[in-house]
Structure 1
Amino acid sequence: MPERLLAPEGIAASVVEFDHGGATLIAEDFGTGARPYVLIHGIGMGRSVYLDFIERLPGRIIALDLPGFGEAPEPSRTLTMARHADLIAAYLRSAGVSDAVVIGHSMGSQIGAELAARHPDLLDGLVLAGPTVNSAARSVWEQATYLLRDLIGERPIVLWRGAREYLRGGPHLVRKIRATVVHEPEKAYAKVKCPVLVVRGAHDPLAPVSWCTEITRLVPGRAELREIPDHGHGTLISDAELAAEIITEFARSL
Structure 2
Amino acid sequence: MEAGFVSIGTISMYYREMGRGSPLVYVHGNTASSLWYELVMDVPGYRVFAPDMPNFGRSSPLLEEITIAHYAESVAGFMDAKGIKDAVIVGHSLGGCVAQMLALNRHDLAKALILIDSGSPMGLVTPKDRHPLIELMRTNRAVLEQALRAVVPGLKDEAFFQKLVDDAQQMATSAWIGNAEALSHFDISSKCAEYQGRVLVIRGSLDALITDEMAKQTTEAFPNASLVTLEDIGHSVIVEDPMLFLKLLREFLAEEREPLWQK
TM-score of the superposed pair, with normalisation by structure 2: 0.80
2:250 alignment partner, SS class: helix
Alignment of 1:3-82 (within 5 A): 7=1, 13-20=2-9, 22-34=10-22, 36-55=23-42, 59-82=46-69
Q: Unaligned stretches of 5+ in structure 2?
A: 135-146, 257-263
Moved more, 97-106 or 238-247: 238-247
Counterpart residue number, 1:93: 80
Q: CA deviation at 1:92?
A: 1.4
Q: CA deviation at 1:186?
A: 2.8
Aligned equivalents of 1:142, 1:133: Cα separation in 2: 20
Counterpart residue number, 1:235: 237
Alignment of 1:191-230 (within 5 A): 191-220=194-223, 222-230=224-232
2:239 alignment partner, SS class: coil
Aligned equivalents of 1:137, 1:99: Cα separation in 2: 28
Q: CA deviation at 1:62?
A: 0.5
Q: Is residue 163 from structure 1 mapped to residue 150 from structure 2 by the alignment?
A: no
Counterpart residue number, 1:118: 105
CA offset digits 1:74-119 (Å, max 9, x no partner): 1223431112212222221232221200000000000000000000
Counterpart residue number, 1:4: none
2:20 alignment partner, SS class: coil
Q: CA deviation at 1:150?
A: 3.2
Give the AA of the match of 2:228.
R
2:252 alignment partner, SS class: helix
CA contact (8 A) 1:104 1:110 kept: yes
CA contact (8 A) 2:97 2:123 kept: no
Distance 1:24 1:192, change over 3 A: farther
1:124 alignment partner, SS class: strand
Q: Unaligned stretches of 5+ in structure 1?
A: 1-6, 8-12
Q: How many residues align?
A: 239
Counterpart residue number, 1:109: 96
CA offset digits 1:50-75 (Å, max 9, x no partner): 21122466521011100011100112
Q: CA deviation at 1:137?
A: 5.9
Aligned equivalents of 1:28, 1:149: Cα separation in 2: 25
Distance 1:57 1:163, change over 3 A: farther
1:121 alignment partner, SS class: coil
Q: CA deviation at 1:240?
A: 1.1
CA contact (8 A) 2:204 2:234 kept: yes
- Identical counterparts, % of pairs: 22
Aligned equivalents of 1:211, 1:79: Cα separation in 2: 23
Aligned equivalents of 2:191, 2:236: Cα separation in 1: 24
Aligned equivalents of 2:152, 2:239: Cα separation in 1: 16
Q: Is residue 179 from structure 1 mapped to residue 182 from structure 2 by the alignment?
A: yes
CA contact (8 A) 2:121 2:187 kept: no
